[in-house]
Amino acid sequence: MKNRLSHIIKTQHAKPFFRYFIMAGVIVVIEVSTFAFMNSSFKINYLLATPLSNVVAIALNWYFSRVYAFRGRNKHKTHVEFTLITVVSVIGVGIQTAVTAISVELLSLTPLAGKVIAIVVTFFWSYWVRRRFIFKREL
């Protein structure tokens, strides 16, 4: 019984988490690069650069969540799934913007450091929501 439970946990939770972690890592590199480029090269304020860099990440995250991280777990129609991902991502943008602002304004960190902290916070929240509600596999 213990081995069966261990196997279920590993296959039901570890593989999607690992794939989501890899996918998110690639998207984070793209998102942070976009943020840094806008903030340093174009002198766009970090509070505007945060949501703008997220637009790219939202589209990439939806696509790769669907075809890579949670493959085979599409319980919603494509347009419903995209809408759910967008809503979750917009909430994530709010969380990222708030964490970035707190990091910069209250903790006196650089905008880039604040952005990285915000990404870590929203990674776990985002994974949980996607896994629990959007790409939940009916057992």
Tens-level pLDDT at each residue, the chain (139 residues): 556 545 544 555 677 788 888 988 999 899 889 989 999 999 999 889 988 888 888 888 888 887 887 776 666 777 888 888 889 888 988 998 899 999 999 999 999 899 889 989 998 888 889 888 887 765 4
Q: How far apart are CA 21 and CA 15, in angstroms?
A: 10
Amino acid 69: pLDDT: 79
Select from 133, 127, 139 the least CA-distant residue to 14.
127
Which of 64-91 are b and which e, b meaning 16 or more Cβ less than 10 Å from the residue's Cβ? bbbeebbeebeebeeeebbebbeebbee
Amino acid 139: pLDDT: 41
**100 contacts 111 by C-beta, under 8 angstroms:** yes
Amino acid 4: pLDDT: 57
Q: How far apart are CA 16 and CA 133, in angstroms?
A: 14
Amino acid 137: pLDDT: 63
